[in-house]
Amino acid sequence: KNVVNHNDQDQGLVRPIVLGFSQLGSESAWRNANTISIREAAEEAGIELHFEDADQSQSKQFEAIRTFIKQKVDVIAIAPVIESGWEPILKEIKQAGIPLIILDRLVNVSDPSLYVTYIGSDFYEEGRKAGKYVIDKMNSRKDTVGIVELVGTEGSTPSIARGKGFRDVIKEHANLKILKSESADFTFAQGKQVMKSILTNMSNEINVLYSHNDDMALGAIEAIEEFGLRPGKDIIIISVDGTNKAFEKMAEGKINSVVECNPLLGPNLMQAVNELMQGRSLPKRIVTPESVFTETMALEEVGKRKY
Ligand code: GYE
């Protein structure tokens, strides 16, 4: 099981399936959990994994992919850092006859036959969930509610869709106003730094912080506390991912709600690789199911999270 019958040089022999995976980076706790999940699932499935970390650089992802093509891996999978600019390299993969799976974030290409399937979350829905939480939480407020949005990596699928879903939901409520929307690249350090500078300019207008991921929210919490305000009280905080650290902060009342985004995609990926190698056809889209958590559930959940 989970092996390939060579039809070239070593005919007749069986060897493990080889998967080349281009991970976009290690910018967040979500990403690290994603990487561990993929490594463990590959091991479990007996799939030989060639893993490259691109350090949030698209050109490094191109390099990794070209290496995988040279190595004649059986399947390539990529978690693309941004959506644009993939068409030429995807054509190279196709010309090499290697099937491609897109994981986590999506690529924006005109020819969808360039990849087999896209496995990942519904980021637009995550944005809508965050928006709905803000509407509920601020329900009693009739005056202006000032919102700051910490955006992830510009041009990445989760940033684009989490921003759009959120806006589509809050737009019915004229008093909910996004005062500032700034990228902090999904990292703790930038989350802290960007929040600090926003606070310096408009601290008394901010009622809500919507952060596209937990790491930026955790950084922002430090900035808010250093500024002398109370996160979760003076500024309502909603974040996306649902990492253990965010749950700890939610249990302390410093984060008010977390929209879950599941990084544990390793088993889904390995299953897709196996099915592909067995010649089975895959659905074009594989979506991971996710929930929303609020403060009342935090104490029960904290420590139980798998990431
Ligand atoms: O939310 C964030 C990470 O692409 C869904 O990337 C992923 C996002 C995740 O850096 O923490």
How many angstroms separate the alpha carbon of residue 299 from the centre of ligand 1? 24
Decide whether any atom of ligand 1 lies within 6 Å of the 213 Cβ: yes
The letter for the amino acid at 200 is T
Task: State pLDDT tens for residues 89-147.
Answer: 999 999 999 999 999 999 999 999 999 999 999 999 999 999 999 999 999 999 999 99
Q: Is the ipTM of this complex over 0.85?
A: yes
**Threshold 0.90, pTM exceeds:** yes
**Alpha helices of 253-294 — where are they, by DSSP H?**
266-277
Closest CA to 242 of 191, 297, 196: 297
* E strand or H helix that includes residue 261: none
Question: From the CB of 240, is ligand 1 less than 6 Å away?
Answer: yes
Tokens of residue 66, six digits: 């070209």
260 Cβ inside 6 Å of ligand 1:
no
Element (H, E) at 118: strand 117-120
